[in-house]
Amino acid sequence: GCAAPCLSVNGQVCTLPEGAADASLLHWLRNDLGLNGPKYGCGLGQCGACTVLVDGVAARACVIPAVGVAGREVTTLEGLAPPGQWHPVQQAFVDEQAAQCGYCLNGMVMMAAALLARQPQPSEADIRRELSHNLCRCGTHLSILRAVQKAAL
Ligand code: FES
């Protein structure tokens, strides 16, 4: 066990430093651990750019205090697939060229990966519903939808 609050990030046990008490999970992951997969978009829990998995469930890291994940398993985009490999969702996003600026992609990929983990063959409506609260300002929604469908095949 750890003396200070500890958790696992991408399979590595980490200790939350004292100074992390007031930080959001997103701030801690990006600024202290250098994990820049999760993005800072709105900072208000509304856009989804900061999505990570907490115990396998998609969560918005900008509105979760870092101390709130003590004892939990956090997965960021960096830990979605084994080192040097891509998750099937990432591969499908590349194949479908489902990005323009790319800022929303972390959230889209993490949401889609969580969806497919619990429901390997979602309907189009399921995918649309799941991603409906993740904002993409470029309007690449149809390519994103195709990519998730492809990853589910
Ligand atoms: Fe977290 Fe927008 S940055 S939801």
Mutate to test the pocket of ligand 1, among 50, 103, 132, 133 (most ligand atoms within 8 A of CB): 50
Is the confidence metric ipTM above 0.90 for this complex?
Answer: yes
How do residues 18-77 score in pLDDT, each as one tens digit? 766 689 999 999 999 999 999 999 999 999 999 999 999 999 999 999 999 999 999 999
Give domain 6-79's CATH architecture: Roll (3.10)
H, E, C per residue of the chain = CCCCCEEEECCEEEECCHHHHHCEHHHHHHHHCCCCCCCCCCCCCCCCCCEEEECCEEEEHHHCEHHHHCCCEEECHHHCCCCCCCCHHHHHHHHCCCCCCCCCHHHHHHHHHHHHHHCCCCCHHHHHHHHCCCCCCCCCHHHHHHHHHHHHC
> Ligand 1 atom closest to Cα of 135?
2
> Ligand 1 atom closest to Cα of 46?
4
Cβ of 148 less than 6 Å from ligand 1? no
Calculate how far, in angstroms, residue 3's C-alpha sits from the geometric centre of ligand 1.
Answer: 31
- Indicate if the pLDDT at residue 104 is higher than 70: yes
Ordered by start, the domain boundaries in the chain are 6-79, 88-152
pLDDT at residue 4, as a whole number: 73
Cβ of 62 less than 6 Å from ligand 1? yes
Average pLDDT over every residue of 68-95? 96
Calculate how far, in angstroms, residue 129's C-alpha sits from the geometric centre of ligand 1.
Answer: 18
Give domain 88-152's CATH architecture: Orthogonal Bundle (1.10)
pLDDT at residue 21, as a whole number: 67
pLDDT at residue 16, as a whole number: 83
**pLDDT band at residue 85, thresholds of 50, 70 and 90?**
very high
**pLDDT band at residue 17, thresholds of 50, 70 and 90?**
confident
pLDDT at residue 84, as a whole number: 93
